[in-house]
Amino acid sequence: MLIEIPQVLDATEVARVRGIIDAAAWVDGNATSGSQSALAKDNAQLPEDGVAAAEAGRIVLDALGRSALFIAAALPLKVFPPLFNRYAGGQAFGTHVDTAVRVRRGTDFRIRADLSATIFLEDPNAYDGGDLIVEGAFGEQSVKLPAGHMILYPASSLHRVAPVTRGTRLASFFWVQSMVRDDGARRILFDLDRGVQAVASLQGQGDPATVQLTGVYHNLLRRWADV
Protein backbone atom coordinates (compact mmCIF):
# COMPACT_ATOMS: atom_id res chain seq x y z
CA MET A 1 0.00 0.00 0.00
CA LEU A 2 1.04 3.57 -0.64
CA ILE A 3 0.06 5.98 2.15
CA GLU A 4 0.56 9.73 2.41
CA ILE A 5 1.24 10.92 5.95
CA PRO A 6 0.82 14.70 6.15
CA GLN A 7 2.83 17.03 8.38
CA VAL A 8 5.16 14.49 9.91
CA LEU A 9 7.42 17.50 10.34
CA ASP A 10 5.81 20.85 11.10
CA ALA A 11 7.14 24.09 9.62
CA THR A 12 9.47 24.69 12.57
CA GLU A 13 10.93 21.19 12.33
CA VAL A 14 11.39 21.49 8.57
CA ALA A 15 13.27 24.75 9.15
CA ARG A 16 15.48 23.10 11.79
CA VAL A 17 16.30 20.18 9.50
CA ARG A 18 16.99 22.51 6.58
CA GLY A 19 19.25 24.67 8.73
CA ILE A 20 21.34 21.60 9.50
CA ILE A 21 21.50 19.97 6.09
CA ASP A 22 21.82 23.13 3.98
CA ALA A 23 25.02 24.01 5.83
CA ALA A 24 26.51 20.51 5.56
CA ALA A 25 28.94 19.02 3.03
CA TRP A 26 27.30 16.66 0.53
CA VAL A 27 28.79 13.62 -1.25
CA ASP A 28 27.93 11.43 -4.23
CA GLY A 29 24.65 9.64 -3.53
CA ASN A 30 26.09 6.31 -4.59
CA ALA A 31 27.84 6.09 -1.22
CA THR A 32 24.90 3.95 0.00
CA SER A 33 23.87 2.30 -3.28
CA GLY A 34 23.66 -1.36 -4.06
CA SER A 35 25.06 -2.58 -7.38
CA GLN A 36 21.74 -2.19 -9.21
CA SER A 37 20.94 1.25 -7.80
CA ALA A 38 24.40 2.59 -8.62
CA LEU A 39 23.63 2.19 -12.33
CA ALA A 40 20.50 4.36 -12.07
CA LYS A 41 21.29 6.88 -9.34
CA ASP A 42 22.47 10.46 -9.87
CA ASN A 43 22.11 12.66 -6.80
CA ALA A 44 23.93 14.02 -3.76
CA GLN A 45 23.62 12.73 -0.22
CA LEU A 46 24.70 13.63 3.29
CA PRO A 47 27.36 11.20 4.58
CA GLU A 48 25.55 8.43 6.44
CA ASP A 49 27.93 8.59 9.40
CA GLY A 50 28.21 12.39 9.49
CA VAL A 51 27.21 14.71 12.30
CA ALA A 52 24.64 16.57 10.17
CA ALA A 53 22.75 13.40 9.14
CA ALA A 54 22.68 12.21 12.74
CA GLU A 55 21.42 15.55 14.10
CA ALA A 56 18.76 16.02 11.43
CA GLY A 57 17.85 12.34 11.66
CA ARG A 58 17.05 12.65 15.36
CA ILE A 59 14.50 15.35 14.56
CA VAL A 60 12.88 13.03 12.02
CA LEU A 61 12.85 10.04 14.39
CA ASP A 62 11.30 12.12 17.19
CA ALA A 63 8.56 13.24 14.80
CA LEU A 64 7.88 9.68 13.64
CA GLY A 65 7.43 8.59 17.24
CA ARG A 66 4.65 11.17 17.64
CA SER A 67 2.84 10.24 14.41
CA ALA A 68 -0.09 7.94 15.17
CA LEU A 69 -0.78 7.56 11.45
CA PHE A 70 2.79 6.42 10.72
CA ILE A 71 2.67 3.90 13.57
CA ALA A 72 -0.70 2.54 12.43
CA ALA A 73 0.41 2.24 8.82
CA ALA A 74 3.94 0.89 9.33
CA LEU A 75 3.65 -1.02 12.63
CA PRO A 76 7.38 -0.33 12.95
CA LEU A 77 9.77 -2.74 14.63
CA LYS A 78 12.96 -0.99 13.45
CA VAL A 79 13.62 2.23 11.54
CA PHE A 80 16.85 2.76 9.63
CA PRO A 81 18.48 6.04 10.72
CA PRO A 82 17.14 8.68 8.30
CA LEU A 83 19.31 9.69 5.36
CA PHE A 84 19.10 12.85 3.25
CA ASN A 85 19.40 13.39 -0.50
CA ARG A 86 19.44 16.27 -2.96
CA TYR A 87 18.61 16.44 -6.68
CA ALA A 88 19.29 19.40 -9.01
CA GLY A 89 20.43 20.19 -12.56
CA GLY A 90 18.71 17.25 -14.25
CA GLN A 91 19.68 14.67 -11.64
CA ALA A 92 17.37 11.67 -11.29
CA PHE A 93 17.14 8.12 -9.98
CA GLY A 94 16.09 5.55 -12.57
CA THR A 95 13.76 2.63 -11.97
CA HIS A 96 15.02 0.32 -9.23
CA VAL A 97 13.95 -1.76 -6.25
CA ASP A 98 15.42 -1.13 -2.81
CA THR A 99 17.85 -3.58 -1.24
CA ALA A 100 16.02 -6.16 0.89
CA VAL A 101 18.35 -5.95 3.91
CA ARG A 102 19.91 -2.65 4.86
CA VAL A 103 23.07 -2.63 7.00
CA ARG A 104 24.42 0.45 8.74
CA ARG A 105 28.09 0.67 7.89
CA GLY A 106 30.50 0.02 10.74
CA THR A 107 27.81 -1.37 13.07
CA ASP A 108 25.84 -4.56 13.60
CA PHE A 109 22.56 -2.69 12.98
CA ARG A 110 20.56 -4.19 10.14
CA ILE A 111 16.93 -4.30 9.13
CA ARG A 112 14.73 -6.10 6.64
CA ALA A 113 13.41 -3.30 4.44
CA ASP A 114 9.66 -3.89 4.33
CA LEU A 115 8.71 -0.26 3.72
CA SER A 116 10.42 2.70 2.08
CA ALA A 117 9.70 6.25 3.20
CA THR A 118 10.39 9.71 1.79
CA ILE A 119 9.80 12.97 3.67
CA PHE A 120 9.85 15.94 1.31
CA LEU A 121 11.83 18.95 2.58
CA GLU A 122 11.26 21.57 -0.13
CA ASP A 123 8.20 23.49 -1.30
CA PRO A 124 7.00 21.66 -4.44
CA ASN A 125 6.62 24.99 -6.25
CA ALA A 126 10.33 25.66 -5.78
CA TYR A 127 11.42 22.96 -8.23
CA ASP A 128 10.24 21.23 -11.40
CA GLY A 129 10.32 17.47 -11.78
CA GLY A 130 11.54 15.33 -8.93
CA ASP A 131 8.32 13.34 -8.61
CA LEU A 132 8.63 10.00 -6.85
CA ILE A 133 6.99 7.48 -9.19
CA VAL A 134 5.97 4.16 -7.67
CA GLU A 135 4.81 1.23 -9.79
CA GLY A 136 2.04 -0.94 -8.36
CA ALA A 137 -0.73 -3.35 -9.27
CA PHE A 138 -2.87 -0.47 -10.57
CA GLY A 139 -0.14 1.25 -12.57
CA GLU A 140 2.17 4.13 -11.72
CA GLN A 141 1.51 6.65 -8.97
CA SER A 142 3.35 9.98 -9.03
CA VAL A 143 4.04 11.69 -5.71
CA LYS A 144 5.28 15.22 -4.99
CA LEU A 145 4.29 16.50 -1.57
CA PRO A 146 4.59 19.68 0.51
CA ALA A 147 7.59 20.05 2.79
CA GLY A 148 7.16 17.97 5.93
CA HIS A 149 4.81 15.44 4.34
CA MET A 150 5.79 11.78 3.96
CA ILE A 151 4.99 8.97 1.55
CA LEU A 152 5.21 5.36 2.75
CA TYR A 153 5.24 2.47 0.27
CA PRO A 154 6.40 -1.16 -0.05
CA ALA A 155 10.18 -1.40 -0.43
CA SER A 156 9.59 -4.20 -2.92
CA SER A 157 8.00 -1.72 -5.37
CA LEU A 158 9.74 -0.60 -8.53
CA HIS A 159 10.14 3.16 -8.22
CA ARG A 160 12.12 6.12 -9.56
CA VAL A 161 12.69 9.84 -9.09
CA ALA A 162 12.01 11.96 -12.18
CA PRO A 163 14.72 14.40 -13.31
CA VAL A 164 14.78 17.73 -11.49
CA THR A 165 14.87 20.37 -14.23
CA ARG A 166 14.58 23.53 -12.10
CA GLY A 167 15.51 24.24 -8.52
CA THR A 168 16.51 21.65 -5.94
CA ARG A 169 14.62 18.70 -4.49
CA LEU A 170 15.56 17.86 -0.89
CA ALA A 171 14.25 14.91 1.09
CA SER A 172 14.86 12.53 3.94
CA PHE A 173 14.56 8.83 3.11
CA PHE A 174 14.75 5.65 5.15
CA TRP A 175 13.43 2.13 5.52
CA VAL A 176 11.20 0.41 8.05
CA GLN A 177 11.12 -3.17 9.25
CA SER A 178 7.52 -3.79 10.21
CA MET A 179 6.24 -6.13 12.89
CA VAL A 180 4.01 -7.46 10.09
CA ARG A 181 6.11 -8.49 7.09
CA ASP A 182 3.26 -9.06 4.61
CA ASP A 183 1.99 -5.91 2.88
CA GLY A 184 -1.52 -7.32 2.43
CA ALA A 185 -1.81 -8.13 6.13
CA ARG A 186 -0.58 -4.64 7.05
CA ARG A 187 -3.23 -3.15 4.76
CA ILE A 188 -5.98 -5.15 6.49
CA LEU A 189 -4.77 -4.06 9.92
CA PHE A 190 -4.50 -0.43 8.83
CA ASP A 191 -8.01 -0.39 7.37
CA LEU A 192 -9.38 -2.12 10.47
CA ASP A 193 -7.62 0.38 12.73
CA ARG A 194 -9.15 3.28 10.79
CA GLY A 195 -12.56 1.62 11.13
CA VAL A 196 -12.14 1.10 14.88
CA GLN A 197 -11.20 4.76 15.31
CA ALA A 198 -14.27 5.85 13.32
CA VAL A 199 -16.63 3.69 15.40
CA ALA A 200 -15.00 4.87 18.63
CA SER A 201 -15.45 8.51 17.65
CA LEU A 202 -19.18 7.92 17.14
CA GLN A 203 -19.97 5.40 19.87
CA GLY A 204 -17.21 5.91 22.43
CA GLN A 205 -14.29 3.76 23.52
CA GLY A 206 -16.44 1.69 25.89
CA ASP A 207 -19.13 0.84 23.33
CA PRO A 208 -19.46 -2.96 22.85
CA ALA A 209 -18.88 -2.70 19.08
CA THR A 210 -15.70 -0.67 19.64
CA VAL A 211 -14.45 -3.18 22.19
CA GLN A 212 -15.22 -6.12 19.91
CA LEU A 213 -13.51 -4.56 16.88
CA THR A 214 -10.51 -3.59 18.99
CA GLY A 215 -10.25 -7.22 20.07
CA VAL A 216 -10.36 -8.41 16.47
CA TYR A 217 -7.58 -5.97 15.57
CA HIS A 218 -5.29 -7.13 18.36
CA ASN A 219 -5.97 -10.81 17.73
CA LEU A 220 -5.03 -10.38 14.06
CA LEU A 221 -1.93 -8.44 15.06
CA ARG A 222 -1.09 -11.22 17.53
CA ARG A 223 -1.43 -13.78 14.74
CA TRP A 224 0.67 -11.88 12.18
CA ALA A 225 3.24 -9.96 14.21
CA ASP A 226 6.87 -11.06 14.30
CA VAL A 227 8.67 -9.35 17.18
First vs last C-alpha separation in the chain = 21
- Out of 2.40.30, 3.40.1620, 2.60.40, 4.10.860, select the CATH number for domain 183-224: 4.10.860
pLDDT value at residue 40 = 84
Is there a contact between 101 and 80 (Cβ–Cβ < 8 Å)?
A: no
Asked if residue 34 has pLDDT above 60, the reply is no
Position 30 confidence tier, pLDDT thresholds 50, 70, 90: confident
Up-side HSE of residue 150: CA atoms within 13 Å toward CB?
28
Is there a contact between 118 and 151 (Cβ–Cβ < 8 Å)?
A: yes
Pinpoint the residues of the chain covered by CATH 4.10.860: 183-224
Average pLDDT of the residues in 71-80: 98
What confidence tens digit (pLDDT) does each residue in 157-213 have?
A: 999 999 999 999 999 999 999 999 999 999 999 999 999 999 999 988 888 999 999
Is there a contact between 177 and 76 (Cβ–Cβ < 8 Å)?
A: yes
Q: Round to whole Å and give the CA distance between 227 and 217.
A: 17
What confidence tens digit (pLDDT) does each residue in 89-146 have?
A: 999 999 999 999 999 988 899 999 999 999 999 999 999 999 999 998 788 999 999 9
Asked if residue 39 has pLDDT above 80, the reply is no
Average pLDDT of the residues in 79-96: 97
| CB count in 10 Å sphere of residue 210 | 19
pLDDT value at residue 35 = 54
Read out DSSP for the chain? --EEETTSS-HHHHHHHHHHHHTS--EEGGGG--HHHHHHB--EE--TTSHHHHHHHHHHHHHHHH-HHHHHHH-EEEEPPPEEEEEETT--EEEE---SEEE-TTSS-EEE--EEEEEE-S-GGG-EE--EEEEETTEEEEE---TT-EEEEETTS-EEE--EEESEEEEEEEEEEESS--HHHHHHHHHHHHHHHHHHHHH-TTSHHHHHHHHHHHHHHHHH---
Average pLDDT of the residues in 47-60: 96
Highest CATH level, class, for 3-178: mainly beta
| CB count in 10 Å sphere of residue 193 | 20
Asked if residue 29 has pLDDT above 90, the reply is no
CA 67 to chain centre: 12
pLDDT value at residue 78 = 97
Is there a contact between 115 and 71 (Cβ–Cβ < 8 Å)?
A: no
